[in-house]
Amino acid sequence: RLVGGGDSAFSAQYPFLCEEALPPSGEGRAERQRRQRRTFLPSRVDEHIFIGGKECAEDAETVRHLGITRVLSILQDPHGVRVPQGTLQLCVSIEDEPDQDISQHFDECYRFMDTAVSAGQRVLVHCKMGKSRSATVVVVFLMRRYGRSLKEALGQLKAARRQVHMNSGFHRQAEAYEAVLFGGG
């Protein structure tokens, strides 16, 4: 997703991603780490919701500069994720396997995210890679909060983060949730 207003608007909104120029030779360790971090940036779904992988949640500079106050960690072992101090975290333990029941966590995740959005805060939803578990939870949130169909919610999410791909079991559970939300089941 592009930021309107060109380079100046981008550098005003994301100053921590901008630099004057790389050192001509032998870049320092800090510069190398900063450049590498850019490959793990979260994707902005809307004004309040970001989605990404585990590295995003543990990057204090990115979390701080994006104004993220809550992190929803959805992993096999989410308690191992070290979010920046002062960030509220909800841990959901689930494997990225089609036979896992992610739907049992939909309400808890929705409440955590909705509380943030209603307060004007920003929340990062992540799993290991930011592709399946986190995508499922974000899609369900978009359906419930904004009344979007599964197709519309998934379209919005893919516009922000192309690599999302819910596993087949999670997709079926999102379809079932859509049917309950909109009276089809």
Spatial contact of 75 and 132, defined as CB atoms under 8 Å apart: no
Residue type, 51: I
Residue 18 is among the residues annotated as catalytic for this protein: no
Q: Which two tokens stand for residue 19?
A: 């630099």
Spatial contact of 68 and 123, defined as CB atoms under 8 Å apart: yes
Point out the catalytic residue in the list 18, 56, 91, 127.
127
Q: Which two tokens stand for residue 18?
A: 């901008």
Q: What is the CA radius of gyration of the chain?
A: 17
Distances (CA, A) of 19 to 3, 5, 135: 17, 18, 31
User: In what order do the strands lie in the sheet containing 122-126?
Assistant: 43-44, 49-52, 122-126, 68-75, 88-93
Where in the sequence numbering do the catalytic residues fall?
A: 127
